[in-house]
A and B are shown apart, each in its own frame.
Chain A
Amino acid sequence: MAKMTLEQLRKLREEKKGDMVRRDVEGKNIQIIVGMGTCGIAAGAKQTFDEIVKVVDENKMTADVIIRQTGCMGLCHVEPTVEIVMPGMPATIYGKVDVPTAREIVIKHVVGKTLVENHIYDRPAVDIVKK
């Protein structure tokens, strides 16, 4: 994009805000968000990310799923962490997601709409921007 003016910045913000809200609430899309801070990467987040891409592909869901990366959400003791936001399911944060668990999560949670035991963690704080 070329350099923006004030007007364009405001417009872009509203537009993108809409995008994010739509994804969070109605969620036509399924979002899989992998924590890729140094702590996550050190714990194997890149392998986790690759496995998710692979399993999503195997299940022919590439058209519905966005796989994103984000920074550290603070749960360093259970890295790698993966958050799943999708319609019909509460937004869920999984921790200690190694390669086999990543596969299990895509198959059970994303495809089967059931939660995966023993890997769920809590978001550490409310979102002050949304509030």
Chain B
Amino acid sequence: MAYKHFILVCGGTGCESSHSDEIYKELIANAEAMGVKDDVQVVKTGCFGFCEKGPIVKVLPDESFYVEVKPGDAKEIIAEQIVKGREVKRLLYKDERQKDRIKVEDIDFYQKQYRIVLRNCGIINPENIDEYIARDGYAGLEKVLTSMKPDDVIEELKASGLRGRGGAGFPTWRKWMFSKGVPADQKYVVCNADEGDPGAYMDRSTIEGDPHSVIEAMTICGYTVGSSKGFVYIRAEYPLAIERLKIGLRQAREYGLLGDNILGTGFSFDIEIRLGAGAFVCGEETALLQSIEGNRGMPIPRPPFPAVKGLWGKPTIINNVETWANIPVIITKGASWFAKIGTETSKGTKVFALTGKINNSGLVEVPMGTTLREIIFDIGGGIRGGKKFKGAQTGGPSGGIITEEFLDLPIDYEALTSLGSMMGSGGLIVMDEDDCVVDVSRFYMEFCVDESCGKCSPCRIGTNQMHAILVKITKGQGTMEDLEKLEKIGLAMKKAALCGLGQTAPNPTLSTIRRFRDEYVKHIVDRQCSAGKCKDLVVYSIDKTKCIGCGLCARKCPVNCISGDKTQKYTIDASKCIKCGECFKACKFSAVVKK
């Protein structure tokens, strides 16, 4: 006996709370009543990530995606679809918001995600070149080598509107054109896989899941700008990605897709791997090139830009993993296909590593112009534990925090910059009401202090000074003048630091001072941290009217600073308390108070 249909009922927490369990039972009851219980299996699933529109019901193999289903709809689903084979149209998902913002005619599915960069990730075996080839792999290279001149490739990239995904969003075609135009005996092509933002792992996953997309793209670039040598600069902390890249390079060489006389066309190109030791600054392009040359990774002033004078003084194209992974598809599917996706100024998609206080953390790829609300609530399934959204940090230590009021702003390069943040590499860390913005700013500044290469004083001294002030504020010793100082130093760094990292290091602090000034003021004036993150500002005590004298808190306390008994109730000796919060977590009667 085999089932003809499967009905999947979302069993995620959001859908459960809106009666998906009842729907599940109703579906089974109706299937039995109508005598089709052997034709259909009704199952509960994990979260489908579309919680705003829940409860979700999906019918297979028809792929019907029903939203906002009520227990009363169960009868109709069984009677119409399972018995008669007709979809229940009124329950199907319709996307009203997609009308003109994302203009690809064929985006008609319910998913918010659109995977160009990650097209093969999770589908092919990354260690088998045949599977990549079967999915139009190396068709872009083939097309370029047989039917396109270098200028055609640049024109195609220009028409596609592709911009660098590593951070600032410089048009890729322009970079390539600069390099192509410079006469030189040797040119280089470099892939920046030195992903260093805390919380970001898009590039790692792309190389782990689809190494050939980067290899193919770099080879296309080699042909376009007239280079025969490429380097992938990748962090040594990514052993699996390195392993798969090595396998990929070996297989490509065996097939004659890399090396001398590629595919018999006379064009030669090869790629070497260079391992980075994990310094954040080496993600900055000029420092990265220094590191490849064997020097200490420190930025050098631009111009001249690497495209004109880069590795060993030769013209060098450096793009990040995500940018590279877009290129083979742009060539095979055409620039006009690509240019239909996204917003006016930002074409294509962006991959985000969605982490923090979110239900469905993971790697998401969405068309440019998707709102943060869609990413966090539709795809990410909302905030963990039903807490309140406070902000989303984009761009890591170079970015800023986006607050609730901007959740509906379509995300692209310009939109994020206008909010004092930046696209950055694509880390997206979601914060809820339990996160303290001062503490978060302090964390990022500490990261920048550690990672500053020390070459220029605005960054070396500035990050240290800003960090010292932020620490002071989190300890409750700040003054209002400190806020002004932070802004002053921050602005000076933005103007005077040598490289992008120093210029953007003050961003998290400056953007939070702007958006959450009240919270800073509360730390300074009231000596309070409402999120309870800044330990020095938190005092734990026990509310004797609520305490039942169970003694659980005293048993949990690692420093034995809670004493009492059943009749006396319990008290915390604040002078010994290390503010670990164990008692607060342990108490089942909310008797432990955090202030």
- Return chain B residues, CB-CB under 8 Å to A83: 122
Task: Enumerate chain A residues within 8 angstroms of B360, measured Cβ to Cβ.
Answer: 75, 77-78
Q: Which residues of B contact A69 (CB under 8 A)?
A: 125-127
- Contact B8–A76 (Cβ < 8 Å): no
Per-position 1/0 for A1-45, Cβ under 8 A of B: 111111001101100110110000000000000010111010000
- Tell whether B444 is near chain A: CB-to-CB under 8 Å: no
- Please tell me if the beta carbons of B264 and A10 are within 8 angstroms of each other in the complex: no
Given A76-B362, A125-B113; A131-B106 close (CB under 8 Å): yes
Asked whether, in the complex, the Cβ of A122 is within 8 Å of the Cβ of B49, the reply is yes
Q: Using A5-B263, A113-B3, A125-B115 as known contacts, say yes or no to A13 and B139 having CB atoms under 8 A apart.
A: yes
Q: How far is the CB of B378 from chain A (nearest CB, A)?
A: 11
Main secondary structure of the interface of A (DSSP, over half): loop
A63 sits at the interface (CB 8 A): no
By the criterion CB–CB under 8 Å, are A121 and B122 in contact?
Answer: no
Chain B residues with CB below 8 A from A90, complex form: 6, 60-61
The complex places the Cα of A78 from the Cα of B44 at a distance, in Å, of 15
Chain A residues near B8: list those with CB within 8 A.
Answer: 115, 120
- Report the separation of the CA atoms of residues A123 and B112 in the bound assembly, to the nearest whole angstrom: 11
Known: A1-B255, A72-B122, A129-B136. A37 touches B3 (CB 8 A): no
- Chain B positions 17-74 with a Cβ under 8 Å from a chain A Cβ: 41, 43-49, 58, 60-61
Q: In the complex, A39 Cα to B204 Cα: how many Å? A: 10
A118 and B11 form a contact (CB under 8 A): yes
CB of B61 within 8 A of CB of A128, answer no
Q: Does A100 contact B (CB under 8 A)?
A: no
Among B48, B238, B255, B363, contact of A3 (Cβ-Cβ < 8 Å): B255
Structural contact, B126 and A88, CB atoms closer than 8 A: no
The CA of A13 and the CA of B582, in the complex, are separated in Å by: 60
Whether A74 contacts B114 by the Cβ 8 Å rule is: no
Which residues of B are in contact with A by a Cβ distance under 8 Å?
2-3, 6, 8, 11, 41, 43-49, 58, 60-61, 106, 109, 111, 113-116, 118-127, 130-131, 133-139, 142, 145-146, 201, 204-205, 208-210, 238, 240-241, 254-257, 259, 261, 263-265, 329, 333, 359-365, 379
> What's the nearest-Cβ distance from chain A to residue B358, in Å?
8
Q: Which of A13, A41, A68, A114 has the most CB of B within 10 A?
A: A13
Q: Looking at chain B's contact residues, is the secondary structure mostly helix, strand, loop, or mixed? A: loop
Closest Cβ–Cβ distance, residue A83 to chain B (whole Å): 8
Question: A115 and B6: CB pair below 8 A?
Answer: yes
Tell whether, in the assembled complex, residue B255 and residue A4 are in contact, meaning their CB atoms are under 8 Å apart.
yes
Task: Assess the B359–A77 pair: CB atoms within 8 A.
Answer: yes
Interface Cβ pair total, 8 Å cutoff: 187
Q: Could you say which residues of chain B place their CB within 8 Å of the CB of A78?
A: 46, 360
Which residues of A lie under 8 Å from residue B205 when comparing CB positions?
A: 37-39, 71-72, 74
Cα distance, A2 to B48, chains bound together (Å): 45
A114 to B5, CA, bound (A): 10
Q: Which residue of chain A has its CB nearest to the CB of B358?
A: A77
Known interface pairs A38-B205, A115-B41; 12 further A-B residue pairs with C-beta atoms within 8 A, sorted by A's residue number: A2-B254, A9-B138, A13-B134, A13-B136, A72-B208, A73-B123, A114-B41, A118-B44, A118-B46, A120-B43, A121-B45, A128-B329
Given A6-B146, A35-B122, A77-B359, A124-B115 contact (CB < 8 Å): yes
- In the assembled complex, which residues on chain A have CB atoms less than 8 Å from the CB atom of B111? 122-126
Closest to A72 in B: B205
A128 and B115 in contact, given A3-B255, A122-B49 (Cβ under 8 angstroms): yes
Q: List 5 A-B contacts (CB under 8 A).
A: A3-B256, A9-B255, A13-B139, A71-B124, A113-B3
Give CA–CA (A124, B254) in the complex, Å: 34
- Cβ-based interface call for A58 (8 A): no
Contact (A115, B43) CB under 8 Å given A4-B257, A77-B360, A124-B113: yes
- In the bound assembly, the distance between CA atoms of A103 and B208 in angstroms comes to 27
Is B240 a contact of A37 with CB atoms below 8 Å? yes
Give the complex CA separation of A3 and B118 in angstroms: 28
Closest B residue to A6 using CB positions: B263
Q: A70–B127 Cα gap in the complex (Å)?
A: 8
Check B361 against A119 for contact (C-beta < 8 Å): no
A75 to B106, CA, bound (A): 24
A78 to B11, CA, bound (A): 14
In the complex with contacts A9-B263, A77-B360, A16-B44 CB distance below 8 A? no
**Nearest-Cβ distance from residue A124 to partner chain B, whole angstroms:** 5
Q: Does A80 contact B (CB under 8 A)?
A: no
CB distance from B436 to the nearest CB of A (A): 24
